[in-house]
């Protein structure tokens, strides 16, 4: 056990919370697949406690106080027991002899371990960097909870507990354990947010955004996205956090990404654009996967807020996005309504999965605007009146509704569109200020502004 805990002592002396967490990990590192097994072999059920206590007490490297030593002993002994469970669950999985609740038990044991660490941190027994150990363990808890839920879903399609319920369904969820884990995360979040350590360098407040991101991730998975709002609210209400820009960049980017997506889902597109743009700007150059994620929401967002389509150069750097948005974007540009509908339909499944469908659908307006603008350009120029010169020449501003109707029918590739419907679409364009002017229904004309008939498009 002395040898097995040597890395622990090293990490402890250097105060590296993540490294300690890697030693207390629920799965072995890729370069040492037998690590958990070795650790398990280093002791046995009877001697583990004495071994660990001895190893901590007589370490030559680190000098741990008696109180802290007791805490770590408790943690490591508990960890050893969980490892026993993990190993037997894996073995059973490989042999296909998995017990009904084996992974659930692993999850529960890991949850207790996480709560144990959390408790010691809360009591101030562990050094300040212990919070990073806890966070890493919490992330493992999330993964184990997902696994436990998978097993539960397979083992038992329904539970028998709704006795005091007025309705049949409702209490039974397929994500029972992850929901429970979410509550654990919530407590860790308060533990960090409410830390009163007077020394700012040691404050657990530095972990706030990291926990928040873990919570977001969990809530998104649980389809309980609205719960994320509480996290954002609590952070907003906490006035004494260190400046956001001083947090690790990774925390910043992830946090902005999630808050951006949250605003996006709440249809607050200007805010969403702001947050996503910030995440985009701070995201590492080589983190293509993350950039792609940010753009998945930033592109639809900017379609709506600025009627701006992404450039071909941008899309070409992200093959996935090009495949996803490419067809739609080219139809928007050309005002091809039928093509747009088709692209939207064929991509619907992917769009819905990423929750951008309902937003993208609205960009049909831009395709329509581009089409109507083409009609306007094709109408040509007014004749010059007496005394006017070539510089006074203006475009024709009175355009028959029927011209627009024809264009819409052509672009709609044969879809039946009634005259009144065309008028309705035009009215909608005017209402949304994509087109300036008014409809003179009795004369069957659209009277466009002489200047800026289609704002922000150069005509």
Partner 1 sequence: MTLPTTVAMSRAMQQPAYTAVTPRTTLMRPAAAPAVRLPKPFRLMFSVLRHNAAAPAAKPTKVVWSDPVRDYVGRAFDPEFAIEGISHQDTQEKLKSVIGYYASMAMQDEIDWATYPLPQQIIAQERNAAQASSPSLDGFSSLHQPNGFTNPASASKKRKSTDVAGFQDHAAHAPIPPWRHTNLQDRVTLATKHNDKRQKKHLGETVSKLEELELEKRKQRFQLETVDRTTPPPDDDSHSDMLSGPIVGTNQKLEKSFFRLTAPPDPATVRPQDVLERTLAHLTKKWKAEKNYNHICMQFKSLRQDLTVQHIKNAFTVRVYERHARIALEKGDLGEYNQCQTQLKELYEQNLGGNPVEFTAYRILYFVYTCNKTDMNDLLAELTPTDKSQEWIKHALAVRSALTLGNYHKFFKLYLVAKNMGGYLMDMFIERERLYALANFSHAYMSVALRFLTDELAFESDDACREFLESHGVAQYIVEDSVDDQLELRVKVKEARRVFEQLRAAAFSIVDIKGQI
Binding stretches for partner 1 (CB under 8 A): 160, 162-170, 172, 223, 225-226, 265-267, 348-349, 352-353, 355, 357-358, 361-362, 364-365, 418, 420-421, 423-428, 430-432, 438-442
Whether the CA torsion 114, 120, 123, 127 is positive or negative: it is negative
Helices (H), 24-101: 35-41, 48-57, 66-94
Cβ 29 vs Cβ 19: under 8 Å: no
* Minimum distance from residue 163 beta carbon to partner 1 (Å): 5
339/329 Cα distance (integer angstroms):
10
* Minimum distance from residue 434 beta carbon to partner 1 (Å): 11
Nearer to partner 1, 194 or 444 (CB): 444
Structural tokens at position 66: 């008696």
Nearer to partner 1, 22 or 423 (CB): 423
Nearer to partner 1, 352 or 378 (CB): 352
* Minimum distance from residue 299 beta carbon to partner 1 (Å): 17
Q: What is the largest CA-CA distance in the chain?
A: 108
Helices (H), 1-42: 6-14, 17-23, 35-41
CA distances from 212 to 35, 131, 135, 136, 411 (A): 31, 14, 11, 13, 47
Nearer to partner 1, 244 or 438 (CB): 438
* Minimum distance from residue 294 beta carbon to partner 1 (Å): 19
* Minimum distance from residue 345 beta carbon to partner 1 (Å): 10
In sequence order, the β-bridge partners of residue 446 are 399, 439
* Minimum distance from residue 417 beta carbon to partner 1 (Å): 10
Cβ 418 vs Cβ 424: under 8 Å: no
438/450 Cα distance (integer angstroms):
12
In sequence order, the β-bridge partners of residue 445 are 400, 440
* Minimum distance from residue 264 beta carbon to partner 1 (Å): 10
* Minimum distance from residue 439 beta carbon to partner 1 (Å): 5
* Minimum distance from residue 423 beta carbon to partner 1 (Å): 8
Q: How far is CA 320 from the centre of its chain?
A: 17
Cβ 276 vs Cβ 256: under 8 Å: yes
* Minimum distance from residue 418 beta carbon to partner 1 (Å): 7
Nearer to partner 1, 4 or 231 (CB): 231
| Radius of gyration, CA atoms only, the chain | 30
CA distances from 136 to 20, 139, 191, 204, 328 (A): 9, 5, 15, 14, 41
Where is 447: in which H helix or E strand?
A: strand 445-448
Nearer to partner 1, 13 or 345 (CB): 345
Place of tokens 């627009």: 404
DSSP secondary structure code for residue 413 in this structure: T
* Minimum distance from residue 160 beta carbon to partner 1 (Å): 6
Q: How many CB atoms lie within 10 A of CB 82?
A: 22
Residue 374, classed as helix, strand or coil, is helix
354/345 Cα distance (integer angstroms):
15
In sequence order, the β-bridge partners of residue 438 are 447
Place of tokens 């992404």: 310
Nearer to partner 1, 184 or 426 (CB): 426
* Minimum distance from residue 96 beta carbon to partner 1 (Å): 28
The C-alpha angle 273, 278, 284, rounded to 5 degrees, equals: 130
Nearer to partner 1, 317 or 349 (CB): 349
Nearer to partner 1, 118 or 296 (CB): 296
Q: Which residues contact 47 (CB under 8 A, 6 or more apart)?
A: none
Nearer to partner 1, 17 or 437 (CB): 437
Nearer to partner 1, 159 or 190 (CB): 159
Nearer to partner 1, 126 or 435 (CB): 435
413/275 Cα distance (integer angstroms):
39
């Amino acid at each position: 056990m002395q040898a097995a805990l040597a890395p622990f002592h090293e990490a402890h002396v250097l105060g590296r919370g993540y490294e300690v967490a890697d030693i207390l990990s629920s799965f072995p590192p890729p370069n040492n697949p037998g690590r958990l097994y070795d650790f398990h072999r280093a002791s046995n059920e009877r001697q583990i406690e004495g071994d660990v206590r001895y190893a901590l007490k007589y370490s030559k490297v680190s000098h741990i106080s008696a109180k802290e030593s007791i805490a770590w002993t408790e943690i490591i002994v508990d960890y050893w027991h969980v490892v026993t469970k993990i190993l037997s669950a894996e073995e059973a999985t490989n042999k296909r002899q998995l017990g009904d609740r084996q992974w659930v038990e692993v999850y529960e044991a890991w949850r207790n371990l996480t709560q144990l660490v959390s408790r010691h941190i809360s009591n101030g027994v562990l050094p300040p960097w212990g919070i990073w150990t806890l966070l890493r363990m919490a992330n493992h808890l999330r993964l184990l909870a997902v696994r436990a839920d998978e097993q539960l879903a397979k083992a038992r399609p329904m539970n028998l507990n709704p006795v005091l319920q007025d309705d049949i369904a409702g209490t039974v969820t397929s994500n029972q354990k992850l929901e429970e884990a979410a509550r654990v995360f919530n407590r860790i979040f308060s533990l960090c947010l409410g830390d009163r350590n007077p020394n700012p360098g040691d404050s657990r407040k530095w972990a706030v955004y990291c926990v928040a991101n873990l919570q977001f991730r969990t809530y998104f998975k649980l389809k309980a996205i609205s719960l994320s709002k509480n996290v954002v609210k609590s952070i907003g209400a906490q006035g004494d956090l260190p400046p956001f820009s001083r947090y690790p960049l990774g925390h910043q980017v992830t946090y902005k990404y999630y808050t951006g997506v949250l605003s996006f889902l709440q249809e607050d597109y200007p805010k969403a654009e702001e947050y996503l743009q910030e995440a985009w700007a701070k995201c590492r150059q080589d983190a293509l996967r993350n950039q792609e994620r940010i753009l998945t929401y930033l592109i639809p967002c900017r379609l709506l807020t600025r009627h701006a389509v992404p450039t071909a150069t941008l899309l070409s750097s992200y093959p996935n996005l090009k495949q996803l948005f490419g067809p739609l974007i080219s139809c928007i540009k050309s005002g091809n309504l039928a093509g747009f509908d088709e692209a939207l339909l064929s991509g619907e499944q992917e769009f819905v999965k990423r929750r951008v469908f309902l937003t993208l659908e609205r960009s049909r307006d831009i395709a329509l605007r581009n089409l109507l603008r083409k009609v306007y350009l094709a109408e040509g120029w007014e004749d010059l009146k007496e005394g006017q010169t070539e510089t006074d020449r203006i475009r024709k501003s009175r355009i028959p509704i029927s011209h627009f109707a024809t264009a819409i029918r052509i672009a709609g590739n044969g879809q039946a569109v009634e005259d009144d419907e065309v008028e309705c679409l035009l009215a909608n364009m005017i209402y949304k200020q994509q087109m300036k002017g008014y409809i003179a229904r009795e004369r069957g004309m659209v009277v466009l502004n002489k200047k800026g008939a289609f704002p922000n498009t150069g005509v």
